[in-house]
Structure 1
Amino acid sequence: MTRDPGLQPERTRLAWRRTLLALTGVAVLEIRLGLTGDAFDAVLAGLAVAVWLATLRVDWRRATGAGPRRGHRWSFPLTALAAAALALLGVLHVLHGLR
């Protein structure tokens, strides 16, 4: 079986789209929690939106297939850091709600 190099870029692009979609879902949940909570929850929701927008800016060209933007080698580490930051914000929401 021969490898079709034409499919790899499409799979990669779809993976970046799924990642951005998942981060968008988490940011929307954070916003929802921020709107129903107190000022602390609103601040956490604002931070989640800022992280999401930064990630969207970094990864948009890769997810849409417009090609990697300059400095694309930082896309993966920054996206992983953004996912960890959003997870931490979610944990803070839960811990704040438990008190």
Structure 2
Amino acid sequence: MRDPGAQPERTWLAWRRTTLSCAVSVALAARVALAEPSGLAVVAAGLGALAWVGLLVTAHRRIGALAQARPGTMGAAQTAGTLLCVLVLIGVGGMMLV
């Protein structure tokens, strides 16, 4: 039987914090794209939005899996997708500095 401690709640909160911080980053990228409409800024905001949606879907699935009595581990595809989303968001941040 699974220990009903605070681990699932901490993991849920961590996923929510991650998606919230990514949403703020994408909103800032969109603000830059609207204020200074250049091709790079628009592409960065669009890629950031797509990466945020991917991360949001992954977080929603993971949080749903944590509700089970014995949650499984993240699969390789979910892990790779999450990593790709985070790397895209890092790239978006780099593009905004240019």
Q: Is TM more than 0.5 here? A: yes
> Between Structure 1 and Structure 2, how many residues are aligned?
89
Amino acid at match of 1:31: A
Identity of aligned residues (%): 31
Structure 2 alignment gaps of length 5 or more = 67-72
Once the two structures are superposed, residues 24-83 of structure 1 have per-residue CA deviations (whole angstroms, 9 ceiling, x without a partner) of: 111111111111112311121111111111111222132xx4226xx9424344223322
* Aligned match of 2:35: 36
* Aligned match of 1:51: 51
> TM (normalized to structure 1)?
0.73
Q: Report the Cα distance in structure 2 between the residues aligned to 1:66 and 1:58, rounded to whole angstroms.
A: 10
Contact 2:47 2:88 in 1 (8 A): no
Q: Relative contact order: is structure 1 or structure 2 higher (C-alpha 8 Å, sep ≥ 6)? A: 2
CA shift for structure 1 position 5: 2.2
Contact 2:19 2:56 in 1 (8 A): yes
CA shift for structure 1 position 94: 1.4
Q: Report the Cα distance in structure 2 between the residues aligned to 1:8 and 1:60, rounded to whole angstroms.
A: 17
Contact 1:61 1:67 in 2 (8 A): yes
Contact 1:59 1:75 in 2 (8 A): no
Structure 1 alignment gaps of length 5 or more = none
Q: CA RMSD in A?
A: 2.5
> TM (normalized to structure 2)?
0.73
